[in-house]
Amino acid sequence: VSLGEFTGVTERAGLAILDVSQPENPQMISRWDSAAFDRGSSTVIVQDEFAYLGAMEHGVVILNIGRGAPIRFVSSIIPDKLFGSKKHSYHARGLSLQEDLLLVAYDNGGLRTIDVSDKSTPRETGKYAASGIDAEGTIFCNHVCRVGQRAFCAMDYCGIEVVDVTDPASMQQLAWINPWGCTSQPPPLGSWNGSPGHCNEIVFSPEAGALFLSGGDTQVLSLDAAQPQL
């Protein structure tokens, strides 16, 4: 479980490991946080003995969660803050990992790729921000889910973007699905507050071949992963 409030009064980014073998009585078995990461955290994903923590303004934190040992800090990386829109702050909000390539939904900084083959020295290998979306509204890449060579990005009130990540150094837009008519008009139509929906979390169902997305205002959206359309 990722820990740490990141709105209002910010708290340390942290991680808790829970034993849920008895769902009616979960037990915390390990906990980690650090004063070095004082902007809260938004998400966590796990692969083998490593956890990857989205630590908001402090980027991505890699932790060793080897069974039976205390959680141990391994490394961290802040993706490039000089690339992209730079209209608002950049935060590591969503993560997706396939083999050694970590995709980071970097808020107003777009989509980033991080090579984590060497856990002690992660490297940023790709940066992508959709100028077309930014011209209409504002880029807010809230979450990302990779299916094959496609990254499905939750773009907040500007819907869903599909990006080809075959070559991380040269990512390309495949589609932009804009269900709420994100525009550059003045408020309320062109504002974050005025939008009838906001896309945040994404999960993929291999059985259905579909993605399911939280759309704000109690909406749930589904997307065909093979032929993306609402």
Token couple for 229: 């359309």
Give the DSSP letter string of the chain: -EE---SSS----EEEEEE-SSTTS-EEEEEEE-TT--S---EEEEETTEEEEE-BTT-EEEEE--TTS--EEEEEE---SSSS--SS---B-EEEEETTEEEEE-BTT-EEEEE-SSTTS-EEEEEE--HHHHHHS---B-EEEEETTEEEEE-BTT-EEEEE-SSGGG-EEEEEE-TT---SSSTTTTSTTT-S--B--EEEETTTTEEEEE-STT-EEEEESSS---
CA angle 190–139–221, rounded 5-degree value:
80
- Give the integer Cα–Cα distance in Å for 155 and 111: 10
Would the pTM of this model clear 0.85, i.e. be above it? yes
Which pLDDT score, from 0 to 100, does residue 229 have? 60
pLDDT tens-digit profile, the chain (230 residues):
999 988 877 799 999 999 999 999 999 999 999 999 999 999 999 999 999 999 999 999 999 998 777 999 999 999 999 998 898 999 999 999 999 999 999 999 999 999 999 999 999 999 999 988 888 888 999 999 999 999 999 999 999 999 999 999 999 999 999 888 887 666 555 667 778 889 999 999 999 889 999 987 778 988 888 887 64
Task: Report the candidate in 42, 45, 158, 153 with the shortest Cα–Cα distance to residue 98.
Answer: 45
